[in-house]
Chains A and B, each alone.
Chain A
Amino acid sequence: MIVLDTVPSGALLLAVGVLFAAGVYLLLERSLTRVLLGFVLLGNGVNLAILVAGGRAGAPPITGGAGATEPMSDPLAQAMILTSIVITLALVAFVLAMAYRSWQLHEHDEVQDDLEDARIARLAEHDVPSYADSDALGSGAMLDEEAVAARDEVAFPDAATRRRPDSSARGGGDT
């Protein structure tokens, strides 16, 4: 029985840490594309972490090589990483399609406000209780249109306002 060398490599651990930090940072962004990049980084970080769990690098993950005494890497960890890479690939493709669809519909790909948040914010603004059909309150702009128009992104300030002039007053997604 060959005992695996279980002391992890420092460089790999550092890479895991950096990938996680960058991934979490990007995940907190509003744009779906950046969220997706964050997800990819996090996924790679986790894959590396599993690789670290499989022992030191350098040996082949197959048995029956040159001799029985030769050290061998843990193949199970690598099999799990391969599976998760495939899954991540499929999910990335789906989210990309969704981000593109969002861009098609709204000319941006930001994750939009929860409608209920918008509703509660509007109720608070008008200082009214919530037993009426609150969609009908106020300016007449529907909640879903408002949620579409509310944006954090400042790189293209006119994109939303040009198309929907009524949204400029409450852009910024501060709900």
Chain B
Amino acid sequence: MNPWTVQTLVPLPVLVPLFAAGLALALHRYDRAQRIISVAALSVVTVAAAGLVVFARDAPVVYDVGGWAAPVGVNLVADPLAALMLLVSSVVLLCVLLYSMAQGIADSGDRAAPLVHDTEAIRRILEAQDPDADELRRRNVLPVAIFHPTFLILAAGVGDAFLAGDLFNLFVGFEVLLAASYVLLTLGGTVERIRAGSIYVVVALLSSILFLLAVGLAYGATGTVNMAQLAERLPEIDPGVRLGIQALLLLAFGIKAAIFPLSAWLPDSYPTAPAPVTAVFAGLLTKVGVYAILRTQTLLFPRNEALEIVLLVLALATMLIGILGAVAQDDVKRLLSFTLVSHIGYMIFGVALATQAGTAAAIFYVVHHITVQTALFLVVGLVERRTGTTSLERLGSLATLAPGLAVLFFIPAMSLAGVPPLSGFLGKVGLLEAGVLDGSALAWLLVVGSVVTSLLTLYAVIRAWNKAFWQPRPDGQELPEESHLPWGMVGPTAALVTIGVGLTVVAGPLYDYAERAASTVMGEEAYIDAVFPDGAPRGTGESDEVTNDTGEDQP
């Protein structure tokens, strides 16, 4: 049998970053080696994801980890939805990694890099604690280059969460990416990051516990955690128990995705992290939550009218309250964090409609939002690098000082607000169309709410653009002319902005793909067929070698 098939691609997005993370940690003294390893690993992931997008188009690709067939073994399933999310996330991860390398977050050789600032703070604290300690000991306490390994583990967790073919593996993927995100958020352990990090960690721990409990309940009720089998068995169990499991899963993922009453942690914790970390969190982590909601609500559970109404109301509240928060902000990072919360509402709107059109629109919107939101945060990182602040009270006249930066901010901001012909407009049109097709009074209310949110987003980002780029600085000071942004930071940002614009160009095929992904998730047959080709469980949990020859140690 040929060992190199399409299925070989499936475990790569998890395996390669994990191995690379170990290698990078072992080589933490060799800065250049670390960089090469990280970039190579994420490039391999991107290529593998691109391959999966092509091969998963017709039927989901299933891989049995360790050779144990489903439902007993753990399997990874790359259906169109997972493959698409994987491709977008790996491209974003690669761009952010390149950006962070130029910013000098991994090494501390750069003057204006945030981490250098932090090490200074740590050094001061250490001096206050123990003035007699020698310089060498102090240097040992300063953070080692853990950024690259942690970032790779985050990538592995994201990949695992997207590819997981059973609920428990999804939980493990979540935990891997969350554990990495705790480290990245509290990088350097400064006062501000510890404050924001403790809130973030406690909230995330709670959501993990809820998720684990839901997995346990699902297992108790159906006797399986395999998604294909759950999709078959969940419709048959007691509706009350099913509603409990569904609501618990929704609660756990709702915290991750920052849906309105569960979203207060996000705008407080994200902006304190270094710019590339904030960018990748904003782009990916909440979307993993949205993906999990999409996956579980559509694939596993049959339609539930009451829960759909609750989700629609929550989507409306998320949109409006999030954007009203954004309008009131003085800091660009916080403003963008609030727009992030607000636009999660759009995706939940699409999911809550529970129609194929709604789901397809939500998938397209997720793809658009990952690229655009990450690009915006990267641009804000550039602004911070150029001017040393992100407060709108202190920024000004950047359009004359850094016209390129102004363009880089303007395009994704317009896309976020939904100005035609950018991808945000297309995503919103898709959602509005799905809402109108649904036709219920609540759906119409959400259509109106979406348009209002879109206008308020336009107001918020234009206000930021005016204050930071167009108006003169309030204090009348001029920026130093000579400081130039490194190309390594501008390049990846420009690449992401270009990809965001490119989404408009390829919107037709992309929307087709999103529709295909939606039909695979909504119509469960394709997914179940791929995991159980003959309609019956393939694995029995008994290895041939063990049953034939009990003398063998390992199958």
Contacts and interface: CB of A to CB of B under 8 A. Distances in A.
Contacts of B209: 39, 42-43, 46
A115 B328 CA distance: 15
A140 interface: no
A98 interface: yes
B191 A64 contact: no
Interface in B253-301: 264, 267-268
Nearest to A147: B195
Interface in B176-201: 179, 182-183, 186, 189, 191-192, 194-195, 197-199, 201
Contact of B213 (A46, A90, A91, A104): A46
Contacts of B328: 130
Nearest to A53: B220
B219 interface: yes
B206 A52 contact: no
Contact of A144 (B183, B195, B197, B217): B195
A35 to B, nearest CB: 6
State the main secondary structure of chain A at its contact with B.
Answer: helix
B260 to A, nearest CB: 16
A42 B393 CA distance: 45
Given A53-B220, A98-B186, A101-B189, A32 B205 contact: no
B267 A90 contact: no
Interface residues of B, number: 46
A87 B206 contact: no
Interface stretch (A76-84, A152-160, A166-174): A76-84
Contacts, number: 106
B198 A91 contact: no
Interface string B206-235: 101100110111011000010000000000
Contact of A98 (B197, B206, B547): B197
**Most chain B CB inside 10 Å of its own CB: which residue of A80, A106, A134:** A80
Given A27-B202, A95-B205, A116-B334, 18 more contacts: A27-B206, A32-B198, A39-B202, A39-B206, A43-B209, A46-B209, A49-B217, A64-B547, A76-B72, A91-B205, A94-B182, A94-B183, A101-B189, A104-B129, A105-B191, A111-B199, A133-B391, A144-B195
Q: Which 7 A-B pairs have the closest CB atoms?
A: A53-B220, A50-B216, A133-B393, A112-B195, A87-B175, A46-B213, A114-B268
Interface of A: 27, 32, 35, 39, 42-43, 46, 49-50, 52-53, 63-64, 76-77, 80, 83-84, 87, 90-91, 94-95, 98-99, 101-102, 104-106, 111-112, 114-116, 130, 133-134, 144, 147-148
Interface of B: 72, 125, 129, 168, 171-172, 175, 179, 182-183, 186, 189, 191-192, 194-195, 197-199, 201-202, 205-206, 208-209, 212-213, 215-217, 219-220, 225, 264, 267-268, 328, 330, 334, 391, 393, 541-542, 546-547, 550
13 contacts: A43-B209, A49-B220, A50-B220, A80-B225, A91-B182, A98-B182, A99-B198, A101-B186, A101-B189, A101-B194, A111-B198, A115-B268, A133-B393
